[in-house]
Amino acid sequence: MIYRMYRQINDGLDLGFYIETIDQLSEPELKQLQWLIAETFEPGNTGIEPYISASEAVEIGPRLSIETPFSSNAVSICQAMGLWQITRIERTHRYAAGNGQSADILKTRFDRMTEQHYPNGIESFDTGTTPEDVRVIDLMGRGKVALEEMNGAFGLGMDARDLEYYQHLFAEVLRRNPTDVELFQLGNANSEHSRHWYFKGQIVIDGTPMQETLFEIVQRPLKSLGSDNCSLVAFKDNAGVIKGFDTRLILPVTPGKPSEMRILDKVVHITCTAETHNHPTFVAPFPGAQTGSGGRIRDNSAVGRGGIVGIGVAGYFVGNLFIPGYQIPGEVVGKDKPSKYASPLSILIEGSNGVSSYGNQFGEPLTLGFTRTFGQTLGSEWREPRKPILYSGGVGHLFDGHTAKEKSEVGMLIVRIGGPAYPIGVGGGSASSMMQGENTEDLDFNSVQRGNAEMENRANRVIRACVEMGDKNPISSIHDQGAGGPSNVLTELLEPLGGKIDIRGIVLGDKTMSVLKIWSAEFQEGYGLLIRAEQIELFKSVCKRERVNCEVLGEIDGSGNVVVEDTKNGTTSVELNLEQILTNMPQKTFESTRRTEGFKPLCLPDVTVGEAIQAVFKLPGVGSKGFLVHKVDRSVTGLVAQQQCCGIAQIPIANVSINAQSHFALTGSASAVGEQPIKMLIDAKAGARMAVAEMLTNMASARISDIGEIRCRANWMWPAKLPHEGALLYDAAVAMSDLMVGLGIAVDGGKDSLSMAATISGELVKAPGSLVMLGYAPVPDITKKVTPDIKKPGRSALALIDLGQGKNRLGGSALAQAFDQLGDESPDVENPKLLKNEFLAVQQMIDERLILSLHDRSDGGLITAVAEMCMASRCGFSVSIPYAAEALASLFGEELGFVIELGTENEKRVFEICESFGVPISMIGITLDSTACSVDAKDTGELFRSTTMELRCWWEATSAKIEGLQMNSACAEEEHSGHDDQLPGIGTAPSYQLSFTPVATLPEVLEASDKPRVAVLREEGTNGDREMQAACAAAGFAPWDVTMSDLLEGRIDLDQFQGIIFAGGFSYMDVFDSAKGWAGTILFNEKLREMFDRFYARKDTFSLGVCNGCQLMALLGWVPWKGIAGEKQPRFVHNTSGRFESRWVQVEVLPSPSVLLAGMEGTKLGVWVAHGEGLLVYPDQSVAQEVSERKLSPLAFIDPYGDRTEVYPYNPNGSPLGITALCSPDGRHLAMMPHPERCFRLWQWPWMPEEWRRMEVSPWLKMFSNAYEWCAK
């Protein structure tokens, strides 16, 4: 049965909701459903009839063959509300199409890869598909021809050697016909993507076999360090692991149950992994990029016996953008040659939206990355990453004792957790191993997965609960489900002993799936585990609490085979010997030849320094990355000690990411990226060395434990099997390896993607070969770091550490690219010892706190580094270079180096350190306490003069254009037209002021045995609970981890708590608007409604809702006061910008009765915001008037002058008068959109006035201390 409901958004758009049920809904149930779908203050805009007539509407919705994540979460909400009859809900967009606009709407708003057109709406979810039977392929009778046909029809990507091996295996060894399920498994699970044959293969160059495989070359630096080094896991498992620290963490006393959280001692190690998702992102950018992030997150959590996710890294390397109505210098190639897949511009926007969306919803901060575009004709070749690089990396944690997976034993249970199976991501392994264009369009589409970050959040909760049990962790072994689906992950778990699997144990989301698809489709958000039989009930109880499917599929039996049985019909679809398909596979041989021809020398036009700056700053690889960082959460977890944005201007220029291990210690990890694919085109060896060196110069900004403890994930993206490219890849790997041996650092793993080419308009387009180095290292003290923003404008000097030693080669530079050129000589690392010494020198300077700021010289050269440092602090500079004739080379050359800001009192000591390490350093200029910017030549005088704000407008121009394409263009224009020279704050922020003195929590409070208990409540999709628990513990509370399922199932109730805190996140993925499902669960469940009402009525209780919790409190009617009619109740809705906003903003604490903000009135300070729906709406202005008169709006956004503001981005959501919080008249209940729990430690603040750094504790701790003191009374 299908019910239909419609919600009017505006005159030109309706949303259609199609609800499948297994039984009729009663009238009250239909009203519940309508409440859920409708906007609370506009219930009249939702009904059972469309608002745009069928004759005038173009209706676009998801493909019916796959249930969307929207539906999965919508059904979860309905069932939590008691609407158990509902089995699926899909949403469509119905556009008004007057005056023959239908074709235009379908052209501009329709994604044929993920959507379809519904002329009559959705009439049934039944696609008419029936599950296909397992087929036996007649190899014995028809020979290799049968294999070749299967290979072509299913896009298995088997080469001639694969076909020969499998022909031999089945015909001569097993002497039987294979099933299509077996061949599909072998094609995907044993693809280049999954098994890395090229890196393990015999490489032959110019007819000569190379002595080492690529894998051996990459391993050489780690082997050279000997066995006594910091690596605990390397070149195996899902991530690398290095030694961490003994630290203090907030942990549950009884993991997997409602539990008090306490601060406990743990040894915590550091993990890192990285991968790419290039093929899926080219086919369908948003889901392809989403699932790239999701797969990598699962790698982080599937290391050892279970890891903890930390921070994310994202990288984008795409072709020329050709933004409509906007010219990026140097963009010439490919403009009139579209692909049947996504364009570079849509990949950059939609792909980054996918990455951001997934991380935001899961709760992983994205704090590091890179962005680059390129496209040129070089000789007879078209070189452009039209098949893009979508890179995802992550740095996390692992408890000591969990580093090694337990070996499989007979009797261990084979378990899968995660979401149900859907026919998505079918053939992803083999499709990703092909050049784009070798496969059919349908097979390419089938190979793309769909992401459900909320499900991954839940599955990750299960793993975290288990690992926090310490020695009682029930997980013996764990792997993430990726390419090849269960056929890959479960087969890996079975190795070497073997076992039987019941395919019908896998929960299906689509009942029409064949055994082949159940076994081989990726269907995301899944893990395979080995668990001992005696621990399975404990594990199931954790899964139940987190509402995650737990599928016991079979057990290890010692047969040495993987056997897949179908208990539905008694058949066996797979029976393969593990040694024959995994362990003893023959090595492959790959041949290549070296290229002899070179490239043209640079021939730059006669341009001024100013013209060159404007051109270079427009390149996405050089200019602002604001269009990426403002839409991604950079503060969730409360463990981020350094993210991308720096200075009073908070622009994204940081060199390094720093992640704390705990809220209660200063140990952590640093991570940094290096990549130089354009320079690799000129000289693959030099480019590889420069990628390593860039990572190292970025890492130098954090004081790490020791250079010898840097480990790296090396990811290679290359068209390796095309002429000459294999030799270039091999030479690059040797160069990288040799340099790392010289530096004393090492790779501990990585991935390769060796089909980086595509056929576009009938032409072969090769992506430049690329090496991405993600380095990570232990940090003993996360406060020992240096950021690029200038600290003392007008009172400091600028010095250059020049590792190029006077060379300023422009080959492969941004300046060359801006004029559609490449050049024939690129920068290189000629002296590894000098590179190591400069790193050590900078580390000593940071240790002695001698330098104020530091920026590496890289893309865009010296002038870019200096300009970025000063833009971040809204101050000026005066820089001198030796000769006017060499101005472009001096200012835009990208040789290795650092620009450092020095106070005059430390100049002598800095020069002494550089001299002792043999590192060249020279003074190049001074900072100014104005916005004037100038460059002079010592031989001729002035070369360039401008202002910081003009430079910033140039630097942000391209970002602003892209912003306008991905958000409310009026907001984008408002932000980027606001760089006024008259803005206050040259190096300071006058709006910061305190009305109190922050004081630390007394030791006797922290050590008390009878602490007030506060429940930090979470729902499916909540992700901000752990930092909230930490903030409460820091103030003296006994915080508890409580889930909505705990309350629903009676494991605990609210009567025993004095406080409730509704934590932030994306409950139910914000389906039906933010917090709507969470509120519906409470309001329409009698038991819960009475429990919450009883808590609210008690006079000894308080509540706090932050972000998603704030939205919930408004929907519950807890603020501003109880009893307001639903259609008049204030609500927090979508930001004016139309997107998620991640910003460090300034707020003022206003007079109010709020007990949590008592004594803070008049304080003006910074705070994190991270939300997509924070715009406060008053449906009834009389309520707004009363809120104002009763002073129930205690927090407001302010501008740099300290005035309440509605100007974007100072007010990131557009709320009237800047209001961003509401409280109850008695002050006990407070709802706020900003995140004080993410800045209750001073090191969590990305910027503060210099004098505030001397404070004992963060001012935001007082809010939690106020709550404690109120409870204590």
Number of separate domains in the chain: 3
Region 247-251 average pLDDT: 98
DSSP 1000: P
pLDDT in tens, 673-722: 999 999 999 999 999 999 999 999 999 999 999 999 999 999 999 999 99
The tens digit of pLDDT for each residue in 998-1008 reads 999 999 999 99
In the chain, % of residues over pLDDT 90 = 87
Q: What is the mean pLDDT of residues 359-384?
A: 98
Mean pLDDT within 904-933 = 97
What rounded mean pLDDT belongs to the chain? 95
Report the alpha-carbon distance of residue 1180 to residue 1194 in Å, rounded: 20
The active-site residue out of 675, 1027, 1235, 1239 is: 1235
Query: What SS3 class is residue 1102?
Result: strand
**1209 and 1090 together in one domain:** yes
> Cα–Cα distance between 108 and 4 in angstroms, integer?
26
| Contact of 1015 with 982, CB cutoff 8 Å | no
1177-1229 residue pLDDT tens: 999 999 999 999 999 999 999 999 999 999 999 999 999 999 999 999 999 99
What is the spatial distance between Cα 622 and Cα 617, in angstroms, rounded to a whole number? 6
Identify the pLDDT of residue 435: 58
Are 433 and 155 in contact by the 8 Å Cβ rule? The answer is no
Pinpoint the alpha helices (H) of 324-452.
Answer: 344-346, 352-362, 428-431, 441-446
User: Do 1018 and 1162 have their domain in common?
Assistant: yes
By three-state DSSP, how is residue 799 classified? strand
Residue 597 lies in a domain: no
CB 1065 within 8 A of CB 1110: no
Q: How many helices (H) and strands (E) does the chain have?
A: 41, 52
Q: Indicate if 1055 and 1112 belong to the same structural domain.
A: yes
Give alpha helix (H) positions in 1195-1260: none
Return the closest-CA partner of residue 474 out of 256, 266, 239, 248: 256
**Within this chain, do residues 660 and 782 fall inside the same structural domain, yes or no?**
yes
- Work out the pLDDT band at 1270, boundaries 50, 70, 90: very high
Structure tokens at 807: 């060379």
Output the furthest CA–CA distance in the chain (Å, rounded).
89
896 C-beta neighbours (distance < 10 Å), count: 26
Report if residue 781 sits inside a domain: yes
Specify the residue for token string 């707020």: 1147
- Distance CA(1098)–CA(1096), nearest Å, equals 6
Q: Is the pLDDT of residue 985 over 60?
A: no
- pLDDT value for 425: 73
For residue 81, CA distances in Å to 40, 88, 1045 come to 17, 15, 12
Single out the residue of 1137, 1191, 777, 1165 nearest to residue 970, CA to CA: 1137
Pair (962, 1070) in one structural domain = no
What is the rounded distance in angstroms from the CA atom of residue 784 to the CA atom of residue 844?
A: 11
Which residue, among 403, 409, 404, has the nearest Cα to 496 in the 3D structure?
Answer: 409
The token pair at 1136 is 């004016």
β-pair type (561-566, 589-592): unpaired
Mean pLDDT, residues 948-968 taken together: 97
Contact predicate 393/657, CB 8 Å: no
Q: At 153, which helix (H) or strand (E)? A: helix 144-153
Helix (H, G, I), strand (E, B) or coil at 331: coil
Residue whose C-alpha is closest to residue 1147's, from 1194, 1083, 1100, 1092: 1194
Whether 614 is covered by a domain: the verdict is: yes
The whole-angstrom separation of Cα 3 and Cα 5 is: 7
- State residue 1206's pLDDT score: 97
Instruction: State yes or no: pLDDT of 980 exceeds 70.
Output: no
Instruction: List, for residues 1060-1098, the tens digit of each pLDDT value.
Output: 999 999 999 999 999 999 999 999 999 999 999 999 999
Task: Tell whether 1080 and 963 lie within a shared domain.
Answer: no
Residue 543 to residue 532: CA distance in whole angstroms: 16
The pLDDT of residue 792 is 97
**CA 274/CA 395 separation, integer angstroms:** 9
Distance CA 858, CA 698 (A): 10
* 560 φψ region: left (φ > 0), alpha (ψ -120 to 50), beta (else): left
Q: Is residue 467 part of a domain?
A: no
> Which tokens hold the place of 390?
């979508």
Separation CA 80–CA 27 (nearest Å)? 18
| Domain presence at residue 816 | yes
Please state at what angle helix 725-743 crosses helix 832-847, rounded to 10 degrees: 50
Is the pLDDT at 157 greater than 90? The verdict is no
CATH classification of the domain holding 1145: 3.40.50.880
Question: Which of 156-160, 950-954, 1015-1019 is predicted least confidently?
Answer: 156-160
Examine the pLDDT at 633 and tell me if it is beyond 60: yes
One-letter amino acid at 72 equals S
**Reported confidence tier of residue 1273, pLDDT bands at 50, 70, 90:** confident
Q: Which whole number is the average pLDDT over 1162-1183? A: 98
Q: Are 1153 and 1192 in contact (CB under 8 A)?
A: yes
Q: What is the mean pLDDT of residues 661-674?
A: 99
Helices (H), 391-449: 428-431, 441-446
Residue 1027 lies in a domain: yes
Q: Are residues 921 and 1032 in the same domain?
A: no
DSSP H or E run through 752: strand 746-753
Residues 6+ apart with CB under 8 A from 1269: none
User: What single string gives the DSSP state of each residue in 246-283?
Assistant: EEEEEEESSTTSSEEEEEEEEEEEEEEEEEE-HHHHHH
* Position 546 pLDDT exceeds 60: yes
CB 776 within 8 Å of CB 392: no
Residue 1108 sits in the same domain as residue 1144 = yes
Contacts of 44 by beta carbon, 8 Å cutoff, 6+ apart = none
Last residue of one domain, picked from the residues 65, 88, 117 = 117
Same domain, 937 and 1022: no
Cα–Cα distance measured from residue 689 to residue 390, given in angstroms and rounded to the nearest whole number: 22
Q: pLDDT band at 553, cuts 50/70/90? A: very high
Final residue in a domain of this structure, among 98, 117, 136: 117
Percent of the chain with pLDDT over 70: 97
Q: Is the pLDDT of residue 443 over 90?
A: no
User: What backbone phi and psi angles, to 5 degrees, belong to 573?
Assistant: -95, -20
Residue 246: Cβ within 10 Å count? 12
- CA atoms of 375 and 710, how far apart (whole Å): 33
pLDDT band at 482 (very low <50, low <70, confident <90, very high): confident
Segment 254-282 mean pLDDT = 97
389-442 per-position pLDDT tens digit: 999 999 999 999 999 999 999 999 999 999 999 888 775 545 555 555 555 555
- H/E run at residue 58: strand 57-62
Q: pLDDT tens digit string along 107-155?
A: 888 877 678 899 989 988 888 888 999 999 999 999 999 999 998 888 8
Most confident of 444-448, 567-571, 726-730: 726-730
Q: Are strands 876-881 and 932-937 parallel, antiparallel or unpaired?
A: parallel
Under the banding of pLDDT at 50, 70 and 90, the label for residue 189 is low
Could you say which of 39, 90, 1173, 1237 is catalytic?
1237
Q: Is the peptide bond before 1209 cis (omega within 30 degrees of 0)?
A: yes
The tens digit of pLDDT for each residue in 557-612 reads 999 999 999 999 999 999 999 998 887 778 899 999 998 888 999 999 999 999 99
Active site residue 1237: yes
How far apart CA 948 and CA 876 sit, in angstroms, is: 6
The string of pLDDT tens digits covering residues 779-803 is 999 999 999 999 999 999 999 999 9
Residue 345, Cα to own-chain centre: how many angstroms? 19
> Is residue 1019 located within the same domain as residue 943?
no
**For residue 339, what pLDDT is reported?**
77
Q: Are 511 and 423 contacting, i.e. CB atoms less than 8 angstroms apart?
A: no
Which residue from 1023, 1083, 1069, 1082 is spatially nearest to 71, judged by alpha carbons? 1069
Note whether 1270 and 1155 are within 8 A (CB).
yes
- Residue 947 is predicted with a pLDDT of 96
Backbone angles phi, psi at 9, to 5 degrees: -90, -45
Nearest to 659 by CA among 284, 270, 977: 270
Domain boundaries, position 1227: 1003-1272
Q: What is the mean pLDDT of residues 664-680?
A: 99
- Which residues make beta-bridge pairs with 202? 589
Sort 1216 into a burial class: Cβ within 10 Å, 0-12 / 13-18 / 19+.
middle
Q: Are residues 1058 and 962 in the same domain?
A: no
Q: How confident is the model at residue 662 (pLDDT cuts 50, 70, 90)?
A: very high
| Residue pointed to by tokens 């000629």 | 830
User: Residue 630 in 3-state DSSP?
Assistant: coil
Q: Give the CATH number of the domain where residue 631 resides.
A: 3.90.650.10
Determine which one of 1107, 1223, 1239, 1271 is catalytic: 1107
Average pLDDT, integer, range 652-676: 99
The answer, yes or no, to whether residue 472 has pLDDT greater than 70, is yes
Whether residue 67 lies in the annotated active site: no
Q: What's residue 63's pLDDT?
A: 83
Would you tell me the crossing angle of helices 69-80 and 1076-1083 to the nearest 10 degrees?
Answer: 20
pLDDT confidence bin for 40, thresholds 50/70/90: confident
Do the domain assignments include residue 642?
yes
Residue 651 lies in a domain: yes
Tell me how crowded residue 573 is: count the other CB atoms within 10 A of its CB: 23
CA distance 1231 to 1063: 11
Say whether 775 sits in a helix, a strand or coil: strand
Query: For this structure, is 397 an active site residue?
Result: no
Q: How is residue 158 written in tokens?
A: 């088997």
More confident call, 878 vs 63: 878
Rounded Cα gap, residues 273 and 236, in angstroms: 11
Structure tokens given for 1121: 């006061």
**pLDDT of 1161 over the 60 cut:** yes
Structure tokens at 1083: 């309001």
Residues 880 and 953 occupy one common structural domain: yes
Residue 262 CB neighbours (<10 A)? 14
Single-letter code of the amino acid located at 308: I
